[in-house]
Amino acid sequence: MKNLYIDFDGVILDTITPVYNLAKKLNLDVKTQTKEVGLLYSKIDWEELINESPALSDSIDNIKKLKESKKFNISILTHVNSLKEAAAKIRFINGLFDDLTIIPVPKSCSKTMMTQTKGAILVDDFSGNLKEWQESGGVAVKFVRELENGKYPEITSLEELLDMKF
């Protein structure tokens, strides 16, 4: 079985759009980690945001299909900006799956620091994470809404992993 790590925001749920919209209303640039942006992330009601965010490309059912295939040892590897965010993501995943590990990663740390990357697959929507993953000996797969023909193999649905050769 291959180790498969799936990002949460932008792969499982579309939590990014509402956060960016809120930041825009407040004239904050979320791409820069300022004190104000950190404060914004700490004040978000993560339970509400997660419960109201739509699943992307039938992600929940596709994770179930991946689990049933027994091809992968699946974990959720997600950056978090606060303990409230981590707890909300853990509760959400635990409410859907009995035995799925979720690994919260402080935003200031690389995902490569939290697990063994060599030969492991990371599905992420952020190329920066994929670059670090690949440089650490892992297999990078980019989740996109529409194919971009970029640097990494791309998928628009987690189910596509079942047909990929690793």
Dump pLDDT digits (tens) for 112-153: 999 999 999 999 999 999 999 999 999 999 999 999 989 999
Cβ atoms of 99 and 74 closer than 8 Å: no
What is the b/e burial string over 149-159, where b = at least 16 CB atoms within 10 angstroms of the residue's CB?
eeebbebeebb
**Domain limits for position 107:** 2-14+54-163
- Does residue 61 sit in the same domain as residue 47? no
- Does residue 129 sit in the same domain as residue 76? yes
The string of pLDDT tens digits covering residues 84-103 is 999 999 999 999 998 899 99
- Does residue 158 sit in the same domain as residue 78? yes
Give the pLDDT score at 59.
97
Cβ neighbour number for residue 108 with a 10 Å cutoff: 8
User: Rounded mean pLDDT of the chain?
Assistant: 93
- Does residue 86 sit in the same domain as residue 145? yes
* C-alpha span between 164 and 166 (Å, rounded): 6
pLDDT above 90: residue 79: yes
How many domains would you assign to the chain? Answer: 2
Q: Whole-model pTM?
A: 0.93
- Does residue 144 sit in the same domain as residue 68? yes
Maximal C-alpha separation, the chain: 46
- Does residue 70 sit in the same domain as residue 20? no
* C-alpha span between 156 and 57 (Å, rounded): 7
Question: For 74-81, what is the mean pLDDT?
Answer: 96
- Does residue 111 sit in the same domain as residue 39? no
Percent of the chain with pLDDT over 90: 75
* Higher local confidence (pLDDT), 66 or 29: 66
Give the pLDDT score at 159.
97
* C-alpha span between 106 and 142 (Å, rounded): 21
Give the pLDDT score at 20.
85
Strand pairing report for 121-124 and 139-143:
parallel
pLDDT above 80: residue 37: no
- Does residue 34 sit in the same domain as residue 67? no
